[in-house]
Amino acid sequence: MLVATTRYQDGCADSTRLDVHITNMGSNSALPGYSEAAQNLNLQTLGPKLADPLFQQVLSVLGGTVANVRAAGRRHLFALPNCWELFGADLLVDSKGSVLLLEINPSPSLAMYGEGSSLHGLVGPDPFKGLPKEWRLLRTG
């Protein structure tokens, strides 16, 4: 979960305020007041009361997107049966708590996890290990 450098105020119309509108780590890290520790958070930091419903929305949005891509006959998001791929999904949570899909990245940056981070070092042999039991439904769903 990436958080903007400065809290967004409803009605803010100044599109030049990157500290308010941009949650991209690369853009924000160059701004005064940026704090990597405070702005790059695990969703579970919100606590289960907020994180679990948000994660369920994420599953629904991503699941619906993949189902629509598959139904359209597009195969470029699907790995071969003996492989897996890592995609990045940029999502936004609006002021009403609704999750919106912004984009899917076929080659996501792992920079927010530190220099020298490897994919294996980040996900290990079991990418779902350590997630709450109900979140591990991704594995079979």
Considering the domain architecture, whether residues 79 and 106 belong to the same structural domain is answered as yes
Q: Cα–Cα distances in Å, from 112 out to 4, 26, 32, 40, 121?
A: 14, 9, 18, 7, 13
Considering the domain architecture, whether residues 62 and 22 belong to the same structural domain is answered as no
pLDDT digits (tens, 9 = 90+) for 61-82: 988 888 888 788 776 666 666 6
Considering the domain architecture, whether residues 20 and 86 belong to the same structural domain is answered as no
Q: Tell me the average pLDDT across 102-120.
A: 68
Which position has the token pair 């679990």? 52
> Are 91 and 101 contacting, i.e. CB atoms less than 8 angstroms apart?
yes
> Are 87 and 105 contacting, i.e. CB atoms less than 8 angstroms apart?
yes
pLDDT of residue 140: 44
- Rounded Cα gap, residues 106 and 74, in angstroms: 14
Q: Tell me the average pLDDT across 83-104.
A: 82
- Structural domain range at position 26: 1-41
pLDDT of residue 53: 92
Considering the domain architecture, whether residues 9 and 30 belong to the same structural domain is answered as yes
Statement: the pTM of the whole predicted model exceeds 0.75: no
